[in-house]
Structure 1
């Protein structure tokens, strides 16, 4: 990136960040990004806080699947507060305002919450695989499995995002130069070895788990649809499709960023336009609103509590019909199903 004295004429002084490096977008582009991310940030905080608060308030929502969903909401909230909100401020200012320490803290925090979210999506897909496809026969997904999975998602993310704080890897400015993340461009052998390990173990492994579980789920749902079924089959299908939608939304949000990072690692000389460098980063940060939206819309049991919570006690949607109520009751029973100890 260019130094201060090499700033192009079309960029003013506010287009150079606190590192003395060129910000890739003009002032109008930064203001637009700031406004868009402000809308996403407010929405993400509201929706993810609702998922957490409503689940904690209502005992009937505290079943194994919701352990992972609440964990995902916590991770998404963390991404918003440590990544999206600072980007709103920096883009509005026209340069990265956090300095070196702020960049490291932001890069570490966003990566920690982001990988935790990715691992949690993998956990949700595996949980539905156990409930719907029953790959191990009568062995069920219990509450203790959900707790272990949630804890493992945080420990795994912490394990692989801490090394840059101690010299193996690095956090650096990325995108437009107004946000921070892992240093994908540094060709130093020590940094490169970290990036390769990081990508394989924190992106590829969860991705493979998601794809395998997702494919198995879709195949099973097609078989269930062919033979039909009662309320239990409808309930399992409803929840499984919700998980499928969440997985698709997450992958659509994060795959462009992962693809760009992988390309930068293995083809460092390839030139990208500023838009290509910026859009995948903000697509990934926008992922924090899709999961709670899908969850509130597709989970009728949760919807019954979340909508009045958001609208201060009012629920504009009509009462459920008898069939839907039966399916909703069965969903609750299936989600609370725990194998004997």
Structure 2
């Protein structure tokens, strides 16, 4: 039995089995009247229509590019594809039901459908959040710690993808078996975790969900990208002409990622906590629909930030539009090992090697076939796998200037 999270104002003065069932605290039959006005329902339906359409198109385009161009089929890009798949599933298996409910002014698919909607949207949403955290950690580890060979990288990325789905299942299955529950949310046109239940059972689940599925991924993202920026700043004073531009570019990308993450998910988290710990009626149905819509916009924003602002995907996108072969960007190809000491600036003694190091620090991604143009101070035949003296250990790299 699903307890409704909405008021019964939509049933005022109406004598029907549906409203009677709702007054008893559960979904009766296969409908439930919304608390929004017809104009409000229309506005919500239009927003959901735009979100669903553009989210579907953006993520389908990402998958099309990945399948069409072999140069995109690298281990790290699998994480981007995992994010796109989870967002695409939200657009296909979730948004259409809430869109239909908003157009009709009532929930249409009954109690079982409400449980499915709440479970599926929570599952795919958490997969996306955890994948973003895994992606940031992979970028951080690629630059700051030694990495393994490419074949091993595929196993590591596959493990990260599997972890995102298993972790999400761990936190979305319990409401199906009694630890909290899924029910109608806000004005009654969407379903999610029952935020308004004041029982210890429900509150304990909501606290864990907030900490482990919202705060923890955010902290991982901030830590990893913060360390990336620190690594770039450490060498920016050595060669300002080359590092300042890359530092500003990476800083811009990190700020955009963090702001969009907070914009999409923080209002929803705050709304859930206010509904859980605040007095009854503090979060009105009308106010609760806005954070819900913001959370759904992540399905549109994620492909733009993490894919179309990625140089490799952008080049392939332009090639797809012009029906041509995409050109490869600047890259350095070697075996994919990076020594931590080298990344911290040790064993860099000449301007030529400083330029090489700055290029490596600011460039994260997979190798391509061509050699980079590092500027007039670097000779094309320079072998960067050798240190400037016999005291320095070899540094093997596999980083491209396409990642951020």
Which category of TM-score, normalised to the shorter sequence, fits these structures? 0.7 to 0.9
C-alpha separation between the residues in 1 aligned to 2:156 and 2:259?
24
1:83 is displaced (CA, Å) by: 2.3
Change (3 A) 1:232 1:224: closer
Question: Tell me, which stretches of 5 or more residues in structure 2 are unaligned?
Answer: 1-5, 334-358, 368-396, 400-404
1:43 is displaced (CA, Å) by: 1.0
Alignment of 1:247-258 (within 5 A): 247-258=258-269
State whether residues 51 and 70 of structure 1, in contact with CA within 8 Å, keep that contact through their aligned partners in structure 2. Answer: yes
Alignment of 1:23-42 (within 5 A): 23-42=34-53
Change (3 A) 1:147 1:243: farther
How large is the Cα RMSD of the aligned pairs? 3.6
Change (3 A) 1:125 1:328: same
C-alpha separation between the residues in 2 aligned to 1:145 and 1:240?
27
Structure 2 counterpart of 1:127: 138
C-alpha separation between the residues in 2 aligned to 1:234 and 1:327?
18
C-alpha separation between the residues in 2 aligned to 1:224 and 1:36?
45
Alignment of 1:196-207 (within 5 A): 196-207=207-218
Tell me if 1:139 matches 2:154.
no
Equivalent residue in structure 1 for 2:330, among 323, 326, 338: 326
State whether residues 2 and 21 of structure 1, in contact with CA within 8 Å, keep that contact through their aligned partners in structure 2. Answer: no
Structure 2 counterpart of 1:181: 192
Alignment of 1:254-269 (within 5 A): 254-269=265-280
Tell me if 1:94 matches 2:94.
no
Change (3 A) 1:150 1:248: farther
Tell me if 1:212 matches 2:223.
yes
C-alpha separation between the residues in 2 aligned to 1:67 and 1:248?
24
Equivalent residue in structure 1 for 2:68, among 57, 60, 67: 57
Structure 1 counterpart of 2:366: 335
C-alpha separation between the residues in 1 aligned to 2:197 and 2:210?
15
Question: Tell me, which stretches of 5 or more residues in structure 1 are unaligned?
Answer: none
1:242 is displaced (CA, Å) by: 4.2
1:22 is displaced (CA, Å) by: 5.2
State whether residues 51 and 292 of structure 1, in contact with CA within 8 Å, keep that contact through their aligned partners in structure 2. Answer: yes
Structure 2 counterpart of 1:46: 57
Alignment TM-score, normalising by the size of structure 2: 0.70
1:121 is displaced (CA, Å) by: 0.7
C-alpha separation between the residues in 2 aligned to 1:7 and 1:307?
55
- Deviation readout 1:170-221 (Å, 9 max, x if unpaired): 0011122100111111122222222222222222222221222232233334
- Deviation readout 1:102-143 (Å, 9 max, x if unpaired): 1000000000000000001111111121234x0x3x336933
C-alpha separation between the residues in 1 aligned to 2:246 and 2:9?
60
C-alpha separation between the residues in 1 aligned to 2:10 and 2:241?
71
Alignment of 1:223-234 (within 5 A): 223-228=234-239
From the CA coordinates, give the structure whose radius of gyration is larger.
2
- Deviation readout 1:70-102 (Å, 9 max, x if unpaired): 000011111222222211111011111111011
State whether residues 265 and 294 of structure 2, in contact with CA within 8 Å, keep that contact through their aligned partners in structure 1. Answer: yes
C-alpha separation between the residues in 2 aligned to 1:94 and 1:263?
25
Change (3 A) 1:128 1:244: farther
Change (3 A) 1:328 1:174: farther
Tell me if 1:313 matches 2:323.
yes
Structure 2 counterpart of 1:7: 12
1:26 is displaced (CA, Å) by: 0.6
State whether residues 296 and 306 of structure 1, in contact with CA within 8 Å, keep that contact through their aligned partners in structure 2. Answer: no
- Deviation readout 1:54-78 (Å, 9 max, x if unpaired): 1122221122321111000011111
Higher percent of residues as helix: 1
C-alpha separation between the residues in 1 aligned to 2:62 and 2:332?
18
